[in-house]
Amino acid sequence: MSFPIHRLRRLRSSPALRDIVRETRLDPQDLILPLFIRPGKGEKRPIASMPGVFQYSVDELARALKEIKASGIPGVILFGIPERKDERASGAYSADGIVQQAAEAIKEKTPELMVLADLCFCEYTSHGHCGVIRKTKSGFVLDNDATLDLAAKTAVSQAKAGADVIAPSGMADGQVAAIRKALDSAGFQDTPILAYAAKYASAFYGPFRDAAESPPQFGDRSTYQMDPANAREALREVALDVEEGADMVMVKPALPYLDVLKAVRERFELPTAAYNVSGEYSMLKAAAERGWIDERRTVLETLTSIKRAGADFILTYHALDAARWLDG
């Protein structure tokens, strides 16, 4: 039977009713805050294309930890800007690399805060690509298997520094297996891997490349990141990472790929993350600054939609604001 017996508006008639029938709930515990770490002292540099986001030196990061801890956010993911870049991304796996220094500082100051270490090489290479580049007759290619050796070294270095979770994002074939083997051999068999399993070659990464100082110096990343037109391929990528030993998987970006996120959630049993990326963040910030949208409502609606599509947790630059609004 339908109207007038069934009136769906009955359950929307008051805040209390809407609350008790709400299907998806967002909580600060669902959020992970990305942090950009740079060399130097006393550095807290604003990122022009990402209002409210900063590059921190390690000493300034220590001051920010108080706010992060008080917010109820359970963890952060670290991205490093090294003092020097080279073709072999040596700053990524150095024992005193910038992410390693930050991880050690965080675990010393706030040991209960979970530290995820992004594992990619674009910030560390002089050419801005996510691995070892090999010259060919037709140009340049990313040398997949040589990159795996660097990924293995970097994962162990990050774990030794105190990273709780290793998060490989370079989209090299076989990277999860290489990292799992290296971690196990080094005694870090209990360190989980969060695989950026379905990472697309997206235009939404633009502001991040300003933040991480990592634009490619030639070409683009479409030979290793996924074609935005493909969804079935994402399920193959996730399946391979699961087979190789991933403990958690991620879809990146989030909003343009909610269909992919939902499909991954329905197909696989592993905890699933989504990365609400820099372009998604900056668009809302720009619109809010112009008074075109209500920032609080739009951000919370956005994050709720990502969780509703299947994300167990969300990496987002909105994390601190969202946590404050959710508790307010």
- Is 252 among the catalytic positions? yes
- Please give the mean pLDDT across all residues of the chain: 92
- Domain-located, residue 86: yes
Give dist(CA 239, CA 54) in Å, integer: 35
In this prediction, residue 221 carries a pLDDT of: 67
- Domain-located, residue 7: no
Q: In the predicted model, what is the mean pLDDT of residues 91-95?
A: 85
Q: What is the domain extent for residue 78?
A: 24-327
Give dist(CA 297, CA 292) in Å, integer: 12
Q: In the predicted model, what is the mean pLDDT of residues 280-306?
A: 98
- Is 160 among the catalytic positions? no
If one counts the domains in the chain, the total is 1
Options 199, 262, 285, 307, the catalytic residue: 199
Backbone angles phi, psi at 43, to 5 degrees: -95, 125
Grade residue 218 by pLDDT with cuts at 50, 70 and 90: low
Options 153, 252, 285, 307, the catalytic residue: 252
In this prediction, residue 63 carries a pLDDT of: 80
Query: Has residue 219 got a pLDDT over 70?
Result: no
Residue 58 sits in a domain of what CATH number?
3.20.20.70
- Domain-located, residue 9: no
Return the bridge partners of 249, or none: 195, 272
- Domain-located, residue 5: no
pLDDT tens, residue by residue, 101-125: 999 999 999 999 999 999 988 888 8
pLDDT tens, residue by residue, 156-198: 999 999 999 999 988 889 999 999 999 999 999 999 999 999 9
The percentage of residues in the chain with a pLDDT greater than 70, rounded to a whole number, is: 95
**Burial of 239: CB neighbours in 10 Å, binned 0-12, 13-18, 19+:** middle
Could you tell me if 87 and 125 are in contact, meaning their C-beta atoms sit under 8 angstroms apart?
yes
Whole-model pTM: value is 0.94
